[in-house]
Amino acid sequence: MTKTKKLLDFQFPARADQLCQVRQRLREAMGACSKSEQLVNCVLLAVGEACMNIIQHAYGKDEQGDIILEVEKHGSNVVVFRLTDFAHHKTRAQDMQSRPLDEIRPGGLGCHIINEVMDEVQLIECDSDCGNVLQMKKRLRKARH
Protein backbone atom coordinates (compact mmCIF):
# COMPACT_ATOMS: atom_id res chain seq x y z
CA MET A 1 0.00 0.00 0.00
CA THR A 2 1.29 3.48 -0.92
CA LYS A 3 2.29 5.62 2.03
CA THR A 4 0.58 9.02 2.15
CA LYS A 5 2.04 12.01 3.94
CA LYS A 6 0.10 15.25 4.44
CA LEU A 7 2.31 18.22 3.61
CA LEU A 8 -0.17 21.09 3.80
CA ASP A 9 -3.73 21.80 4.86
CA PHE A 10 -4.33 25.51 4.42
CA GLN A 11 -7.64 27.37 4.37
CA PHE A 12 -7.69 30.96 3.13
CA PRO A 13 -10.15 33.55 1.80
CA ALA A 14 -10.59 33.33 -1.97
CA ARG A 15 -9.05 36.72 -2.71
CA ALA A 16 -6.24 37.87 -4.98
CA ASP A 17 -4.33 39.41 -2.06
CA GLN A 18 -3.99 35.94 -0.49
CA LEU A 19 -2.15 34.38 -3.42
CA CYS A 20 1.28 35.52 -2.28
CA GLN A 21 0.82 33.75 1.07
CA VAL A 22 -0.47 30.63 -0.70
CA ARG A 23 2.70 30.49 -2.79
CA GLN A 24 4.82 30.95 0.31
CA ARG A 25 3.08 28.06 2.13
CA LEU A 26 3.20 25.88 -0.95
CA ARG A 27 6.90 26.58 -1.53
CA GLU A 28 7.62 25.50 2.06
CA ALA A 29 5.59 22.30 1.59
CA MET A 30 7.26 21.50 -1.73
CA GLY A 31 10.67 21.89 -0.08
CA ALA A 32 10.07 18.44 1.43
CA CYS A 33 9.50 16.93 -2.02
CA SER A 34 11.86 18.44 -4.54
CA LYS A 35 15.06 20.39 -4.77
CA SER A 36 14.32 21.35 -8.37
CA GLU A 37 13.62 25.09 -8.43
CA GLN A 38 12.09 24.73 -11.90
CA LEU A 39 9.66 22.01 -10.78
CA VAL A 40 8.66 23.95 -7.66
CA ASN A 41 8.12 27.13 -9.70
CA CYS A 42 5.92 25.23 -12.17
CA VAL A 43 3.85 23.75 -9.34
CA LEU A 44 3.45 27.18 -7.71
CA LEU A 45 2.31 28.55 -11.04
CA ALA A 46 -0.22 25.78 -11.74
CA VAL A 47 -1.73 25.80 -8.24
CA GLY A 48 -1.84 29.61 -8.39
CA GLU A 49 -3.72 29.40 -11.70
CA ALA A 50 -6.21 26.95 -10.18
CA CYS A 51 -6.76 29.30 -7.18
CA MET A 52 -7.23 32.20 -9.59
CA ASN A 53 -9.88 30.24 -11.50
CA ILE A 54 -11.77 29.67 -8.26
CA ILE A 55 -11.53 33.35 -7.28
CA GLN A 56 -12.54 34.67 -10.70
CA HIS A 57 -14.95 32.04 -12.00
CA ALA A 58 -16.28 29.86 -9.17
CA TYR A 59 -16.87 32.62 -6.61
CA GLY A 60 -16.78 35.47 -9.15
CA LYS A 61 -17.66 39.02 -8.20
CA ASP A 62 -20.87 38.25 -6.31
CA GLU A 63 -19.77 35.60 -3.85
CA GLN A 64 -17.14 35.36 -1.15
CA GLY A 65 -15.78 32.26 0.50
CA ASP A 66 -12.75 30.20 1.34
CA ILE A 67 -10.46 27.82 -0.46
CA ILE A 68 -8.80 24.82 1.16
CA LEU A 69 -5.49 23.73 -0.31
CA GLU A 70 -4.34 20.25 0.70
CA VAL A 71 -1.03 18.80 -0.42
CA GLU A 72 -0.12 15.15 0.05
CA LYS A 73 2.87 13.12 -0.97
CA HIS A 74 1.87 9.66 -2.17
CA GLY A 75 4.78 7.25 -2.02
CA SER A 76 8.11 8.69 -3.09
CA ASN A 77 7.15 10.14 -6.44
CA VAL A 78 3.64 11.61 -6.55
CA VAL A 79 2.39 14.85 -5.02
CA VAL A 80 -1.37 15.43 -4.91
CA PHE A 81 -2.83 18.93 -4.72
CA ARG A 82 -6.50 19.25 -3.78
CA LEU A 83 -8.37 22.55 -3.93
CA THR A 84 -11.81 22.71 -2.34
CA ASP A 85 -14.13 25.69 -2.67
CA PHE A 86 -17.65 26.34 -1.44
CA ALA A 87 -19.01 28.37 -4.34
CA HIS A 88 -22.52 27.95 -5.72
CA HIS A 89 -21.09 27.81 -9.25
CA LYS A 90 -20.42 24.23 -10.32
CA THR A 91 -17.28 23.90 -12.41
CA ARG A 92 -17.60 21.44 -15.28
CA ALA A 93 -14.84 19.33 -16.78
CA GLN A 94 -15.06 21.26 -20.06
CA ASP A 95 -14.33 24.48 -18.12
CA MET A 96 -10.89 23.04 -17.38
CA GLN A 97 -9.90 22.54 -21.02
CA SER A 98 -7.14 24.56 -22.65
CA ARG A 99 -7.93 27.05 -25.37
CA PRO A 100 -6.07 27.03 -28.71
CA LEU A 101 -2.80 28.87 -28.23
CA ASP A 102 -2.71 30.23 -31.76
CA GLU A 103 -5.41 32.72 -30.72
CA ILE A 104 -3.28 35.57 -29.43
CA ARG A 105 -5.51 37.26 -26.91
CA PRO A 106 -5.35 38.16 -23.24
CA GLY A 107 -6.74 35.58 -20.83
CA GLY A 108 -7.72 31.94 -20.98
CA LEU A 109 -4.22 30.58 -20.44
CA GLY A 110 -4.69 29.35 -16.87
CA CYS A 111 -6.14 25.94 -17.76
CA HIS A 112 -3.46 25.42 -20.40
CA ILE A 113 -0.76 26.06 -17.78
CA ILE A 114 -2.42 23.68 -15.29
CA ASN A 115 -2.74 20.92 -17.89
CA GLU A 116 0.85 21.40 -19.09
CA VAL A 117 2.39 21.33 -15.62
CA MET A 118 0.32 18.64 -13.91
CA ASP A 119 0.25 14.96 -14.87
CA GLU A 120 -3.41 14.52 -13.91
CA VAL A 121 -6.19 17.08 -13.45
CA GLN A 122 -9.57 15.91 -12.22
CA LEU A 123 -12.73 17.46 -10.86
CA ILE A 124 -13.94 15.26 -8.02
CA GLU A 125 -17.68 14.73 -7.68
CA CYS A 126 -18.93 16.12 -4.39
CA ASP A 127 -22.28 15.39 -2.80
CA SER A 128 -23.13 18.83 -1.47
CA ASP A 129 -24.98 21.47 -3.47
CA CYS A 130 -22.13 23.94 -3.09
CA GLY A 131 -18.52 23.68 -3.94
CA ASN A 132 -15.98 22.08 -6.20
CA VAL A 133 -13.00 19.85 -5.58
CA LEU A 134 -10.14 19.98 -8.06
CA GLN A 135 -7.44 17.36 -7.70
CA MET A 136 -4.13 17.62 -9.50
CA LYS A 137 -1.27 15.12 -9.45
CA LYS A 138 2.36 15.78 -10.21
CA ARG A 139 4.98 13.10 -10.60
CA LEU A 140 8.32 14.30 -9.27
CA ARG A 141 10.28 12.08 -11.63
CA LYS A 142 9.05 10.86 -14.98
CA ALA A 143 9.01 7.12 -15.65
CA ARG A 144 11.94 5.85 -17.69
CA HIS A 145 11.05 3.97 -20.87
Partner 1 sequence: MQTNITSTASYDLLTLSGEVDLHYSPTLRENILGSLKAGKPLLVDLAQVSYIDSSGIASLVEGFQTAKSAKLGYGLLNVSSPAMQVLTLTRLDKIFALYTSTDQFETALQA
Residues lying near partner 1 in the complex (CB under 8 A): 16-17, 19-20, 23, 38, 41-42, 44-45, 48-49, 52, 55-56, 101, 104-107, 109-110, 112-113, 116-117
| Cβ proximity to partner 1, 102 vs 125, nearer residue | 102
The 8 Å CB, 24+ separation contacts for 39-48 are 39/138, 39/140, 42/117, 43/79, 43/81, 43/117, 43/138, 45/113, 45/117, 46/113, 46/114, 46/116, 46/117, 46/118, 46/136, 46/138, 47/22, 47/81, 47/83, 47/136, 48/19, 48/22, 48/23
CB of 60 to partner 1, least distance (A): 13
| Cβ proximity to partner 1, 55 vs 78, nearer residue | 55
| Cβ proximity to partner 1, 30 vs 117, nearer residue | 117
CB of 48 to partner 1, least distance (A): 5
CB of 27 to partner 1, least distance (A): 10
